[in-house]
Amino acid sequence: MSIKTSALVAETAGAPFVQRTIEHRELGEFDILIDIAFAGICHSDIHQVREEWGRAIFPMVPGHEIAGTVAAVGSAVTRHRVGDRVGVGCMVDSCGDCEQCKDGQEQFCDNGNVMTYNGRGYDGNPTYGGYAQQVVVSERFGVRIPDGISLDEAAPLLCAGITVWTPLKRWGAGPGTKVGVVGLGGLGHMAVKLAAALGAEVTVLSRSDAKAGDAAELGADKFIATGEKGALRKNTRTLDLIINTVSAALPMNDYLGLLKPQGALVNVGIPSENYDIAPFAVVGGSKVLAGSNIGGIPATQEMLDFCAEHGIGATIETISADEVDAAYERVVAGDVRYRVVIDTSTINAG
Ligand code: NAP
Ligand code: ZN
C-alpha cells in the first residue's frame, strides 16, 4: 500500500504550486515515515523548479530542509522510534556499501545517492520532497534533531546549515582565522552564525549596507557593502577563507583578491552561468579555489549537535502553503530575513 499525503506540487517547470495528494512508496523494512512539521525554502528549490540547472522531473514536490517526527518505522528499523524528532536534508538513500558511503560521505556515493526530490529512488520511481505532510526515507537519512532546537528553526539546518558547516570545518574556521561570507541569505546567515560560534572573525560581504545591522546581530565582526566603488580593492589580502553563497556568478578574480596568500575561496552557490577566472588570480598567491557539496550524514548530526550546544537555529519567516509562490520572488530578490519555512500543516489537498 503506497502512502498518500498532501503536498505542494509544481506540475511543470516554473508552474505555480497546487495543493494535491501525492503517493510515496510503501514503508520498506528499513524505512521511516515522517510527519513533516516544517520545510525550508532553499534557493536550490527555485533553481530546480525553474529548470535553471537543466531538465528536471515533473510533477515536482521540492523541499530538502525537512523537520518533523517519526510516524511509523519499518520492521527492521533500529535507529529511530515513533515520536522521535528527525530531520531530512538533500538525500534520502544511498548504496551504503561504497568507499564514500562507508566514510560517511553519502553525498558522493559511487553508485549514485537518491536525492530527496527531483531524483529517482532505487525502485525507479521519482522522489517527492518536503513541501508535504509526510515523507518516506531510508532510516539512515533521518538525523536526530536535539531537543534544544525548535523544529521550525531546525529545518533550514538540514541544507543551509550543513552546506556551510562542511567547508568551515574542512578549511579550519576557528579562533585566529578570518572568514568572509559572501551573500547574506539562507546559507550566508547560517555561515555567519556557525563561523562566529566556531570562534572565527567574520566579515559579511553583501551587495548594499541594508543588512549591516542584521549581520552584526547574527555575529559578524565586519561588513563590506560590495556595491560601493572600490570596496573590494580596499580589503585585498585580508581573509583566510571565503564562503561564497551567491546564486549568481560573481567576478571571481576580484573576490580571490580578498584572500591572503594560500587562502581558500569555496563556492557553495551554484549559479547557472560559469565563472570567469584568470590563472594568475589563483597562482599568484598560491590560492585555493574550491567547491563544496552539502555534507554527509555523520557531519549533519555533528552540526545539529553543535547548534543545540550553542543555542543556534536558523532565523526564519514562517509562511503557509498559499504563500510559497510569492515567497519564491522574495528569495530571488534577496529580500528574506533569512530563511522562509513552510508550516506544512497548512497544505490542504482538499
Ligand atoms: P538565498 O537565500 O537567495 O541567498 C543568496 C544571497 O546571495 C542573497 O541573499 C544575496 O545576498 C546574494 N545575491 C543574490 N543574488 C545576487 C547577485 N545577483 N549578485 C550578488 N549577490 C547576490 O539563497 P540560498 O538558499 O542561500 O542559496 C544560495 C546558493 O547556494 C544557491 O545557488 C543554491 O542553489 C546554492 N546551494 C548550494 C548547496 C551546495 O551543496 N553547494 C546547497 C544549498 C544551496 P545579499 O543581499 O547579502 O547580497
Ligand atoms: Zn538546499
Q: What is the pLDDT of residues 127-166, one digit of tens each?
A: 999 999 999 999 999 999 999 999 999 999 999 999 999 9
The pLDDT-based confidence of 330 (bands split at 50, 70, 90) is very high
240-248 mean pLDDT: 98
Share of residues in the chain with pLDDT > 90 (%) = 99
Q: What is the pLDDT of residue 349?
A: 87
Nearest ligand for residue 295 CA: 1
296 lines ligand 1 (CB under 6 A): no
Strand runs labelled E in 213-256: 222-225, 239-244
Q: How many CB atoms lie within 10 A of CB 263?
A: 22
Nearest ligand for residue 337 CA: 1
Question: How does pLDDT run across 207-224, given as a tens digit for each residue?
Answer: 999 999 999 999 999 999
Closest CA to 338 of 202, 196, 167, 161: 161
pLDDT at 78 over 90: yes
Mean pLDDT of the chain: 97
pLDDT at 64 over 90: yes
The pLDDT-based confidence of 350 (bands split at 50, 70, 90) is confident
> Would you state the CATH architecture of domain 3-159+313-346?
Alpha-Beta Complex (3.90)
Task: Compute the C-alpha angle 87/93/96, nearest 5°.
Answer: 115
Q: Which ligand 1 atom is nearest residue 42's CA?
A: 25
Task: Compute the C-alpha angle 306/307/313, nearest 5°.
Answer: 170
What are the sequence ranges of the domains in the chain? 3-159+313-346, 161-291
188 lines ligand 1 (CB under 6 A): yes
The pLDDT-based confidence of 43 (bands split at 50, 70, 90) is very high
Mutate which of 49, 115, 168, 245 for ligand 1 pocket (most atoms within 8 A of beta carbon): 245
pLDDT at 7 over 80: yes
Question: How does pLDDT run across 253-299, given as a tens digit for each residue?
Answer: 999 999 999 999 999 999 999 999 999 999 999 999 999 999 999 99
316-320 mean pLDDT: 98
Nearest ligand for residue 317 CA: 1
The Cα-based distances of 277 to 58, 246, 286 in angstroms read: 35, 16, 14
Question: How does pLDDT run across 8-28, given as a tens digit for each residue?
Answer: 999 999 999 999 999 999 999
Could you please state the CATH topology (level 3) that the domain comprising 161-291 is classified under: Rossmann fold (3.40.50)
245-258 mean pLDDT: 97
Whether 161-291 and 3-159+313-346 are alike in CATH topology: the answer is no
157 lines ligand 1 (CB under 6 A): no
248 lines ligand 1 (CB under 6 A): yes
This prediction has a pTM of: 0.98
Question: How does pLDDT run across 89-107, given as a tens digit for each residue?
Answer: 999 999 999 999 999 999 9
Q: Which ligand 1 atom is nearest residue 208's CA?
A: 48
Q: What is the pLDDT of residue 75?
A: 98
Task: Compute the C-alpha angle 152/11/55, nearest 5°.
Answer: 95
* Close Cβ partners of 308 (under 8 Å, ≥ 6 residues apart): 146, 147, 148, 149
Q: What is the pLDDT of residue 25?
A: 94
Residue 60 φ/ψ region, left for φ over 0, alpha for ψ in the -120 to 50 degree band, beta for the rest: beta
